[in-house]
Amino acid sequence: MTSRELPRPAAPSLAELRRRNSEKWRTYPDDVLPLFVAEMDYPIAPVVANAMRTQIETSDLGYAGTTGSVGPAFSGFAERHWGWRVDPDDVHLTTDVSVVIVEALRAAISPGDRVIITPPVYPPFFELIPEAGGRLHQVPLIADSARPTGYRLDLDAIGAEFAAGTRAILLCHPHNPLGLVHPREDLIALAEMADDHGAVVISDEIHAPLVHPPDITPEAPPFVPFLSVSGAARKVGIAAHSASKAFNIAGTKCALTVVGSDLMRAVVRRQPHEVAGRASILGRAASAAAYTHGDDYLAGTLNTIGDSLDLLEQLLAQHLPQVRYTRPHASYLAWLDFGDTGLGDDPAEPILDEGRVALHRGPAFGDQGKGFARINVACSPEILTEAIERIVRVVDAHGQN
């Protein structure tokens, strides 16, 4: 069976979804279509549900304590999917990727050290660096029409910052909200610059399992884990991984700190014991099952995401040609440019107020997000179609004013 022939998970009806209690379905009133937060509407993988059910049925809901079988499970997943050989002993448990980032930075930098982010980028990055004691420094992505997603890292500016004493960079790889998969040559150059100047690279790779295969997005490059590109990358790098996005289990609270050098192992040893101790035993069971037995579910989910992106392209071309959009190479999030619609710097605001569709506000991703909004397409075709129809009415109304 080819990847395109695998079963596609189907989202429940809107009425069923509204019985859920997650942030996605409880933030707004029932007349709003919530397409803002990065949470899929699809059912979770049966193997994951069974793993959690077993924990419950055996009353095994104590403290996780150790990584259990997650290290070998993630190691096997990484080698199958990315050709990356990870020592299971270099996989460390914690609650979520934000905790991986904050605790890695706390142990790797001194208070007041500058840390780079590359906007437009995942909004919590703006808060995580101060939480870890660092000083935020922005080096925006730069436009590059030669790249399939139209952006790339500004390696010259990043190198200059390292030379000036910046101590770390928080890399988003794949990059949220663009779905940009950083190419191997950029990762190699980044690692060499960081190594030359004694800086640390924290690579948030939470969306890595959701990089699109060529039969879904033909131009999408393969995902290359940062720690896999060179000895320098392993020396300076810490990778943050989780099954939470790919398998829709964010609420189970389990993420992984992955290292590959004695220098970074020492960083992990400097972290408080509770960093690992707070992880959920349910999340550990769910993650181990996902990484070990979830490949077919993941492939089928990517098929469904591909169908949704195809539908989004068709709807925009037919009804909103003034909204510019470049197909992402990873995940189920699309970055929409409303700059020509007259909806202002924060188009998500009138779309919510007047159209009752909740998108993620573009300016939250940095100044580079003005005029943009992020949409989550991991929903049913009916919901996505209705959302675009509502947005069309808002754009049309503003065009007539």
CATH code, domain with 133: 3.40.640.10
Residue 193 lies in a domain: yes
Q: Quick one: 69 and 214 in the same domain?
A: yes
Q: Which pLDDT band, with edges at 50, 70 and 90, does 149 fall under?
A: confident
Identify the residue with better confidence: 138 or 146.
Answer: 138
Residue 170: name the closest of 105, 235, 228 by CA.
105
pLDDT at 147: 84
What value does the mean pLDDT take over residues 52-76? Answer: 96
For residue 2, is it within any domain?
A: no
Same domain, 40 and 55: no
What values do phi and psi take at 203, rounded to 5?
A: -105, 110
Place of tokens 């829709």: 248
DSSP secondary structure of 97-128: HHHHHHHHHHHHS-TT-EEEE-SS--TTHHHH
Contacts of 339-346 with C-beta under 8 Å, sequence gap 24+, read 339/371, 339/372, 341/395, 341/398, 341/399, 342/395, 342/398, 342/399, 342/401, 343/371, 343/394, 343/395, 343/398, 344/371, 345/370, 345/371, 346/370
The answer to whether residue 8 sits within a structural domain is no
Are 354 and 241 in a shared domain? no
Q: What is the pLDDT of residues 65-103, one digit of tens each?
A: 899 999 999 999 999 999 999 999 999 999 999 999 999
Cα separation, 292 vs 70, whole angstroms: 9
Q: Are residues 310 and 238 in the same domain?
A: no
* Measured distance CA(358)–CA(397) in Å, rounded: 18
Domain shared by 123 and 152, yes or no: yes
134 falls within a domain:
yes
pLDDT tens per residue across span 163-197: 999 999 999 999 999 999 999 999 999 999 999 99
Classify residue 1: in a domain, yes or no: no
CA dihedral 95, 52, 211, 66 (to 10 degrees): 40
Q: What percent of the chain has pLDDT over 70?
A: 98
- For the chain, the straight-line distance linking the first and the last C-alpha, in angstroms and rounded, comes to 53
CATH code of the domain containing 317: 3.90.1150.10
Residue 4 domain-assigned (yes or no): no
Q: State how far the alpha carbon of 149 is from the alpha carbons of 205, 327, 361, in Å.
A: 18, 7, 20
Q: Which pLDDT score is estimated for 1?
A: 38
Alpha helix segments (H runs only) across 58-183: 70-82, 97-108, 125-131, 155-163
Taking 50 as the threshold, does the pLDDT of residue 148 lie above it?
yes
Domain total in the chain: 2
- Given this model, what pLDDT does residue 134 score? 98
In the numeric block, which tokens belong to residue 264? 């970074």
| In the predicted structure, residue 3 carries a pLDDT above the cut 60 | no
Q: Do residue 40 and residue 132 come from a single domain? A: no
Q: What is the rounded distance in angstroms from the CA atom of residue 175 to the CA atom of residue 162?
A: 21
**146 and 37: one domain?**
no
- Dihedral class, residue 115 (left if φ above 0, else alpha if ψ from -120 to 50, else beta): beta
Confidence tier at 336 by pLDDT (50, 70, 90): very high
For the chain, give the percent of residues with pLDDT over 90: 93
CA distance 287 to 374: 27
**Is the torsion defined by CA of 270, 131, 158, 227 positive or negative?**
positive
CB neighbours of residue 337 within 10 Å: 17
- Residue after which a domain boundary falls, among 293, 325, 354: 293
Q: Are residues 204 and 76 in the same domain?
A: yes
Q: CB–CB of 79/258 below 8 Å? A: no
Q: What's the chain's average pLDDT?
A: 96
Domain span holding position 38 = 14-44+295-399
Residues 232 and 323 in one domain: no
Residue 140 has pLDDT above 50, yes or no: yes
Q: Is 60 exposed, middle or buried (0-12, 13-18, 19+ CB in 10 A)?
A: exposed
**Residue 143 lies inside a defined structural domain of this protein:** yes
Last residue of a domain, one of 259, 275, 293: 293
> Is 6 inside any structural domain?
no
Model confidence over 193-237: pLDDT tens digits?
999 999 999 999 999 999 999 999 988 999 999 999 999 999 999
Is residue 53 located within the same domain as residue 156? yes
261 and 305 inside one domain? no
Do 227 and 188 meet the contact criterion of CB atoms below 8 Å apart? no
pLDDT, residue 315, reads: 98
**C-alpha count within 13 angstroms, C-beta hemisphere, residue 391:** 32
pLDDT of residue 401: 56
Helix H or strand E encompassing 286: helix 281-293
The pLDDT of residue 390 is 98
Q: 195 and 336: one domain?
A: no
- Please give the structure tokens belonging to residue 183: 């190419």
pLDDT at position 4: 53
Of 241, 270, 293, the residue at which a domain comes to its end is 293
